[in-house]
Amino acid sequence: LRWAAATVLVGFQNHGEVIGVLRGLLQAGNAAQRKMALYCLRDLDVRAPDLDEALVRLLDDEDRDVQLAAISSLARLATDRAGAAARLMRALDARDPRLRRAAAAGLGTLGERSESVRAALDRATASPDASLARAAVGALRQLRADRP
């Protein structure tokens, strides 16, 4: 039901009001609301430096699902791609394997092709966590394929 409601929100024509409500939920909502607000903002393709700040803050949220949504959203929406890449590279060392995998995939989506990103993903390909290694291989492949 939450995803259906999110789909309806994304379809609204008056994006300004919807975006304002979603931004408010990032700060004042419960974990489920923060997560869904992140996904809605991602799907609305909202990009702004002040949103980057909120996304980065939510990478450290106490709820893992909010952190996963923040990783996905930051990878798609970041206006400061180098800064986003630095935060996603840090998440490659998270305790939770889902966060590590999401960070690797997010680096591929972000498209930041710096040497430090490629080196971090190369290291992740050698991880004993096979899922992380696969995500890192996929991200590197995506970075090569997206090359102009």
The two most distant CA atoms of the chain are separated, in Å, by 47
The CA distances from residue 71 to 17, 83, 147, in Å, are 24, 13, 22
CATH topology for 83-148 is Leucine-rich Repeat Variant (1.25.10)
Q: Note the helical H segments in 12-48.
A: 15-28, 31-44
pTM: 0.90
CATH topology for 1-79 is Leucine-rich Repeat Variant (1.25.10)
* Rounded CA separation 56/67 (Å): 9
For the chain, what's the residue count? 148
Would you say the CATH fold of 83-148 matches that of 1-79? yes
* Domain map (residue ranges) of the chain: 1-79, 83-148
- In DSSP notation, 64-101 reads HHHHHHHHHHHHHH-SSHHHHHHHHHHHTT-SSHHHHH
Give percent above pLDDT 70 in the chain. Answer: 89
pLDDT band at 43 (very low <50, low <70, confident <90, very high): confident
Please tell me which residue, 68 or 19, carries the higher pLDDT value. 68
Write out the H or E segment, with its range, that includes residue 81.
Answer: helix 81-91
Q: Which two tokens stand for residue 126?
A: 């050698």
Tens-place pLDDT, residues 134-144: 999 999 999 99
